[in-house]
Amino acid sequence: MSKLACDCIFLLFFFFMVVGVKLQFSKVNFSIEWFMGCEEHTIWDGLSSIKLKPKKTNQKRQREPRFAFMTKSEVDHLEDGYRWRKYGQKAVKNSPFPRSYYRCTSVSCNVKKRVERSFTDPSVVVTTYEGQHTHPSPVMPRSGVSAGYANNFGSVLPPGNYLSQYQHYHHQQQQQHLVNTLSSLGFPYNDSSSPKNAVFTQERRLCSNHGTNAFLRDHGLLQDVVPSHMLKEE
């Protein structure tokens, strides 16, 4: 082999060696950068850029009790003034609609609900509840009204136990609140000249005068009804 050939081979070898070192150096830099940004429990394996999964603490999570239904009055009471935090969503088998999980945000309320849409009839939303709550909400927000139970006549019956507890005073508050809500939505209240007005009946039902509750539902004044078979006996 001529000296020229030897030199060429040496140069090629040297070139690839340098490139190799350069690449390796970049890799080290990347590893260090990654290491600096990672959390303290993350394991770093020296010069390798391969991330190792952080070792989980071997704490056994207590599995929560299986789903337990609430009574009707518990559900009525619960919707009254509580807020919900979503904590999960999962695909439902054989359904394009996911199931969502919510937890009551109040400290006095240890209740969860799950909400899913019927695959066969997407207009149907099923809400089921589980858990306990300790004392009534002092406030009367919109949800207090919307937690009422829809009947077949396009009206809403406010939660019975709520009314029995607070009776007339809260009933007035409730109606006034609803009037304000309706007004803010541009919905004429007790205006018989309007084709789409709302009134309270003597049974304290909120009624839409033109025989449909679509408007009320569209604005959240009618909410999902908990199916009776999903309520445990009181």
Partner DNA sequence: CGATTTTGACCAGCGC
Partner DNA sequence: GCGCTGGTCAAAATCG
Question: Could you list the residues that contact DNA (CB under 7 A)?
Answer: 53, 56, 60-61, 63-64, 67, 83-90, 92-93, 99-101, 105, 112, 114
Nearer to DNA, 99 or 210 (CB): 99
In the complex, least distance from residue 87 CB atom to DNA, rounded to whole angstroms: 5
Nearer to DNA, 75 or 182 (CB): 75
CB burial string 20-32: b at 16+ within 10 A, e below:
eeeeeeeeeeebe
In the complex, least distance from residue 65 CB atom to DNA, rounded to whole angstroms: 8
Nearer to DNA, 100 or 197 (CB): 100
**CA 107, CA 112: separation in Å to the nearest integer?**
13
In the complex, least distance from residue 2 CB atom to DNA, rounded to whole angstroms: 57
In the complex, least distance from residue 21 CB atom to DNA, rounded to whole angstroms: 32
Beta bridge mates, 189: 198
Beta bridge mates, 100: 89, 115
Nearer to DNA, 77 or 112 (CB): 112
Nearer to DNA, 130 or 161 (CB): 130
In the complex, least distance from residue 203 CB atom to DNA, rounded to whole angstroms: 34
User: Given CA atoms 69, 72, 74, 79 in this order, what sign does their dihedral have?
Assistant: positive
Nearer to DNA, 25 or 87 (CB): 87
CA 14 to chain centre: 61
Nearby residues of 175 by Cβ (< 8 Å), 6 or more positions away: 200
Extended strands (E) in 61-124: 84-91, 98-104, 109-117
Amino acid at residue number 84: W
User: Given CA atoms 42, 48, 49, 53 in this order, what sign does their dihedral have?
Assistant: negative
In the complex, least distance from residue 17 CB atom to DNA, rounded to whole angstroms: 38
